[in-house]
Structure 1
Amino acid sequence: MRVSLSHALVTGISIALVSALSTMASADEFPSHDVQYVIPFGPGGESDISARLQQKYFEEITGEQLVVQYMPGGGGAVGWSQLNDKSADGYTIMGSNLPHIILKPMGKDVGFQTDDLNNFFYFHYSPDAILVRNDSPFETLDDLIQAAEEAPGAVTLSGSGTYSANDVANTRFQQLAGVTTTYIPFKGTGAAVTALLGGQVQAEWGYTTVAANHQDKVRMLAVATEERHPLFPDVPTFKELGYDMVGGAYRGMAVPEGTPEETQQRLSDIFQQINENPDFQQEMQDLGFVLMDVPLDEMPDFMAEQRQTYEATARELGLID
């Protein structure tokens, strides 16, 4: 009987050890094939641009491809509502955007809740800005404001969906400037830019990244940063012009519910390593992005802080009761 118990004990320990080693090995070996990166917007926006830049460095680190796909609709809601239906093995990741993932579920039923998204890394943000075409009669922010005062609702601005950073920025700006404009939501920044360039709208709530990517076609009237952006030293901040606006859109990544913790950690480490690459940093800076690092272990505190901030903002702006 003693031999049997001893044998069983040794066998149990061996199985547990093999299982632990196998888990460690699988985490170290991940990924062993291509990873699908789903962007919940159309092509051409900041999420797409940054994903395309990350592809090269992802392959250098892992030897595998980061394959970009699109699932536009509902300002990101279509994709986020389907994330947890996908395989929870780490081989499908999805772009995650703030304030979208917090504000959208607060406004109405959009098919997901903020806590449904398992965020594992946030890597950059881009400051809000009002942009116009180079041939626009609006030479300054005051020009746009004057037009809005003279004809309330006549000035049209595109942006990336409802309950997005653009929507929040437009609502806040209207309150601060005491004007009424018409905000037209599109499926993503790429579509919002196309609307501006095509003359469908007079201006756009975009970002410094849009201005950097279309310098020959658009100009910024003001940017929502504490200090002037180094790429655009001639563009005033909203604060300089008397409007207390500082903010933008934050971008990260999430995985389906049930994705193993060690796999999430590996993904977090990979994209943090990409962020630390000097060449990648320079590319992002040249495009107007501002890098940040929120790894997996810091995500709970980060999301709690963001939720508190955006819930207060949403109530202040009347986006929710």
Structure 2
Amino acid sequence: MNLRRRAFATFATFAAGVLACTFGAAALAGDAYPQRPITMIVPFGPGGTSDIMARLLQQPLADALHGTVVVDNRGGAGGAIGMSLLKRAKADGLTIGLSVIGPEVLQPALRDTGYSYQDYDHICRTYSVPLMMLVPADSPFHSVADVIGYARSHPGKLTYGSSGTGTILHLAMAMLMDKGGAQALHVPYKSTGEMVTALKGGQVMLFNETPTIAKQYGLRPLAVFADHRVANFPDVPTMAEAGFTMTPAGVWGGLIAPKGLPPQVRTALESACQKAIGTQAYVTPAERVDTPPAYQSGAAFAAFAKSQSEAYGALIDKLGLAQKQ
């Protein structure tokens, strides 16, 4: 009898444990993602474009997910520190990042960073601002053909500025010179402010920057490095319209995550991102800083990152800028 009671007690204890685990797992599975706050890593310090765009997205994304999103600035090494940290994070959807062209595409082509665009799941692109070729209002150049013509007839005499060697501002012009079979002298600066001073002082003849800079400093755009014209500059042609078909060049950003997100989490994030950047809470301030939404789905964003990586990687190799060992 005692043996029967002990056996029954053992079975009852075992059954209770199984039921507890079953109900516990069911409850966990039923919890809506995210169960905890989401950390959004920004690979630059506070105050820059990527930080501004991340903070504009922060609350609309949190609202769309019915959760909390915390921005974590991790600057350094041209954005590579933050990207490396994101790569090592657990792929559970609780750590995501705001990727931009420099850290994701350009830095891995310039040097060994330990990561590439293939090491991340792409969730959505949120913005993309094309570069424009800008000259002073009194410049003798009135078209891209004028610029290329001068560069061809005066090799190395055309001077242009950028915010640093290997930046998108530099590479876009180098790509154009390559397409046009021309030569120009690159003059790197530390900031756009320095470039503007140099342009107005005659130290450089032109540079590439965003529409915001064109408006802010009263510069004259000759063409836009994009597949379509800019709404606020309807008379400015694209590079293709100007006679030079080339890879679009601009400043873009979007959400990525460590490789291997669970499908349901990835779907939730992509849906929330699309919803967030369609809200007035995001659109209005984004347009105010001349960086309107430019949504791409996760698949489209991944394909875009691949094409940008291949195009700029080839250009960097051709120019001999790569520092890889």
Normalising by structure 1, what TM-score? Answer: 0.73
CA contact (8 A) 1:93 1:255 kept: yes
- 1:119 equivalent to 2:129? Answer no
Aligned positions of 1:31-46 closer than 5 A: 31=37, 35-40=39-44, 43-45=47-49
Query: Partner residue of 1:244?
Result: 245
Structure index of larger Rg = 2
Change in 2 beyond 3 A, CA 1:210/1:180: same
- 1:291 equivalent to 2:290? Answer no
Query: Of 251, 271, 274, which aligns to 1:272?
Result: 274
CA contact (8 A) 1:105 1:112 kept: yes
Change in 2 beyond 3 A, CA 1:262/1:161: farther
Query: Partner residue of 1:223?
Result: 224
Query: Partner residue of 2:236?
Result: 235
CA contact (8 A) 1:30 1:263 kept: no
User: C-alpha distance in 2, partners of 1:12/1:196?
Assistant: 69
Task: Using the TM superposition, name which of 193-202 and 122-131 deviates more.
Answer: 193-202
After TM superposition, give the deviation of residue 43 of structure 1 in Å: 3.6
RMSD (Å), alpha carbons = 4.0
CA contact (8 A) 2:168 2:249 kept: yes
CA contact (8 A) 2:117 2:305 kept: no
Query: Of 23, 28, 45, which aligns to 1:22?
Result: 28
After TM superposition, give the deviation of residue 49 of structure 1 in Å: 3.8
**Cα deviation code 1:87-141 (max 9, x no counterpart):** 7775654321247524543443123233333433322222232224556564543
User: C-alpha distance in 2, partners of 1:259/1:66?
Assistant: 19
After TM superposition, give the deviation of residue 68 of structure 1 in Å: 6.0
Task: Using the TM superposition, name which of 120-129 and 89-98 deviates more.
Answer: 89-98
Query: Of 252, 255, 258, which aligns to 2:257?
Result: 255
User: C-alpha distance in 2, partners of 1:259/1:52?
Assistant: 23
Change in 2 beyond 3 A, CA 1:3/1:10: same
- 1:158 equivalent to 2:162? Answer yes
Change in 2 beyond 3 A, CA 1:304/1:57: closer
**Cα deviation code 1:210-251 (max 9, x no counterpart):** 44xx44443322102333222101212212221113513431
Change in 2 beyond 3 A, CA 1:14/1:261: farther
After TM superposition, give the deviation of residue 38 of structure 1 in Å: 1.6
Flag structure 1 segments of 5+ consecutive residues without an equivalent: none
CA contact (8 A) 2:101 2:253 kept: yes
User: C-alpha distance in 2, partners of 1:261/1:294?
Assistant: 14
Change in 2 beyond 3 A, CA 1:100/1:72: closer
Change in 2 beyond 3 A, CA 1:246/1:307: closer
- What amino acid is aligned across from residue 18 of structure 1 in structure 2? G
Query: Partner residue of 2:4?
Result: none
Query: Partner residue of 1:197?
Result: 196
Q: Percent identity among equivalent residues?
A: 24
Q: What is the SS of the residue equivalent to 1:125?
A: strand
CA contact (8 A) 2:163 2:195 kept: no
Query: Partner residue of 1:101?
Result: 104
Flag structure 2 segments of 5+ consecutive residues without an equivalent: 1-6
**Cα deviation code 1:65-92 (max 9, x no counterpart):** 6436351433x33432333456777565
User: C-alpha distance in 2, partners of 1:48/1:204?
Assistant: 24
- 1:206 equivalent to 2:209? Answer yes
- What amino acid is aligned across from residue 254 of structure 1 in structure 2? I
